[in-house]
Structures are given as C-alpha cells and as structure tokens.
Amino acid sequence: MNINNIKKEFPIFDEKIQNNDLVYLDSANSSQKPKVVLDRINDFYSKQFSNVGRSIHYLAVAATNLYENTRTSVQKYINAKDKNEIVFTKGATEALNLVANTLGQAILEPNDEILITELEHHSNYVPWHFLRKSKNIKIKFAEINEDGDIPIENIEKEITEKTKVIAITHLSNVTGAVLPIKEITQLAHSKGIVVVVDGCQGGPHLKLDMQDLDCDFYAISCHKMYGPTGLGVLYGKKKWLEQLPPYQGGGGMINEVKKDRISYGDLPNKYEAGTMATAQVIAFNESIKFLESIGIENVIKHEKELIEYGQEILKKNNSVKLIGNPKERGGVLSFTVEGVHPHDIATILDETGVAIRAGHHCCQILHDKLGIPASARASLGVYNTKDDLDKLNEGINNCKKVFDLK
C-alpha cells in the first residue's frame, strides 16, 4: 500500500494550515474525504439529482437505483445476510437512538437492565438514559481494567436475570481498546440478551462481518469512513427490524394510510421516513469502493504499524502519559502531558499544522474514572505516516518548551 499515492487522493492535503503542511491526526472525530467522494456528490447534484422512491420519471428511477446500489454495497462490505437489514440514518447517533427508542417501546419493562461499559461514547449512553427517565430502566456499567480494556469477565459479572440489552462499543475512541464482540454476543445470546454495537470506530478500522459477529444491531458512522457527513448506517437483524415499531413517521415509510388506520412499508422503508440524504448515500458507495481498493487487511496492517511506532516514541517522551494499554488497540493514541492542559497541547500543535483533538471526546464517564478532566488524542487514517507521528512528537516537545518543562 503506497501511502503517498493514497494521500494524493485527498484534496485537503494540498492546502496549507498555518503556512504548514497539514498533519491530520483527528480521524476518530471525522476522516477526510477522497476526491472520488467529493466528485460523486457534485456529479449527482449537477447531473443526476432527483428524490428517490417516489416518482417514476427517468431521473427519479436512476437516483433510486443508485441509492439502492449503495445499500447492496454496504450489505456486502459488512457481510449482512440480507440487504434489507441495512437502514440509512442521519448518522450513527440516530441509529443508536432508533434502536433504544424502538426496543424501549417493544420489549423493555420498568426495572429491566441495560448493560453498557465505562468506555461508551455519549451517543451509546444518553439514548438509554432517556429510557431510564421515561420507563424506569436501570443502567449498569461494566468496568474497565487497569489497561483501559473491558475483559469479558467484567461484562459477565454484571449480567442478571433483569439484563435485556448489552450496548457496547466495538473500538474505544479514547483507549483504542478493541472489544471481543463475537464472544460477548455468544455470552449474551446464551442468556437471551440483545446486543447493540456502537461501530463508529470499528467501521473504518476493522474487518466487519455481521454474520460472524452475530450481534443484533450495529451502528456505523459514514463520515468516519471517508464518506459524507449527515449519514449513518444501522445494521439490524431482519427478525428485529420486522418486529420493532417505526422510529419516525412520514412519507416513504408507509404502505397504506386511511383515516382510521395506517400500515407500514416493508423493510427497510419502514425506518427511512421522509426525504433521505440521497447524495450522501450515493457518494458513500465511492467510500466503500475506496476502502475496498486498498483492502481492509492492508488498512489494519498499516495502522497497527503506526500505532506501535507512535506508542514507542511517545513512551520515550518524558512527561507524556499514554491512556490505556489494551490487549488489542485500534488507531487511537490518547495521552496527557504533565503540566500542560490538553487544550493548550492542541493549540500549540495547531500552530505547526498538526491537527489533534483535545477534550473528553464525548466520554466523560471514562475521564471521570481516570481522574482527568480531558485528554489529547491523535487518531489515524489511511493517509497517515510515521513522519506524521514524528511531527506530533516534535510538537509535544515544543509544548514542553513553551511551558518550561523538562
């Protein structure tokens, strides 16, 4: 995999940031977009635009076919059994809200328990909190270990006869821990528990196989997979999507509407109310093709080499403390520098064109557990190199000089 050639596919790297070449280490937040995705959006709006699933004129039929082609591509990419198990949403956050809301209506009763972890992003906690308020659902937390990992034993010991749902991240956006979803699902299903996976970080960094993982739901954030913003994918097992109620009402999700009754459309239309993000869906097909052209195995190998290199140089850097040492780490390096606030680290790095994220990364519970208000985070994409990590380290050394640290 020639990274220099891949980097040329991203127009943003032709731009100067603070008069410096851009070193983009914020892909866990949102990835940059290759030219093929940008061009596809422009071509659709300028040459092919129409709404989908409504009219029968040429443009509408063509747009609908393109839209459905992406559904088929997603199905194949994640190895779902049926293309109708793929639902397009406004983002992974909406996908997780959809699952929490509909499970809350259909199967959850007061005092039932939802098991999540201390690693969870707010988007996989707040929707369940709504149910705690509205239906008196209980939420339990599986604890991290000293390495910032979640051993399966820490999940198993929290399960009771009241546990109805396990909602869990695939890859932590702070510690980088990759959780054993297949084993967790096997444990959960042996006890009749539904498994919901936040795959926002798993989508761009891991090989996805829904039939192998066997989870009931999996949420994907397309803008983290080199795709457009405003788009997510919800994978749901057909048996659940057929059983659960619609999430939103409107055009496109109905079969028949009368004054005294309404019947809903077949899958996946039942969950795709209103005008969808058509251009984004069609462009996301190019994101999938882009990743397939590289090969997810090559992505994993490349990021593993970078993570190992990044850990090596940062561990040698005095005052830098890496957060987490999980058994398997994805493309995330979160850290603190003694005596420097993470926001100051990010600001000083930005002056040399190095873009990282600073804050709690929508994981306040984890940061509370770690006893820190915030952390700095460098996160990887296919366009990153060891040179990028060297510049990160140089920037950290500059921070230490600014704050007169040794």
Which residues belong to the active site?
362
Continuous segment of H or E residues that includes residue 400: helix 386-402
**Dihedral (Cα; 386, 387, 391, 394), 10-degree rounding:** 80
Q: Are strands 163-169 and 354-355 parallel, antiparallel or unpaired?
A: unpaired
Which residue matches tokens 């996976």? Answer: 197
Name the residue type at position 112: D
Residue 382 CB neighbour total at 10 angstroms: 25
* Preceding omega of 245 cis (within 30 degrees of 0): no
CA-CA distance, 287 to 283, in Å (whole number)? Answer: 7
* Selection from 364, 398, 394, 392 nearest residue 377 by Cα: 392
> Are 358 and 375 in contact, with CB atoms under 8 Å apart?
yes
Rounded Cα distance, 288 and 273, in Å: 24
Judged by DSSP in three states, 196 sits in strand
Buried b / exposed e over 125-149, threshold 16 CB at 10 Å, is: bebbeebeeeeebbebbbebeeebb
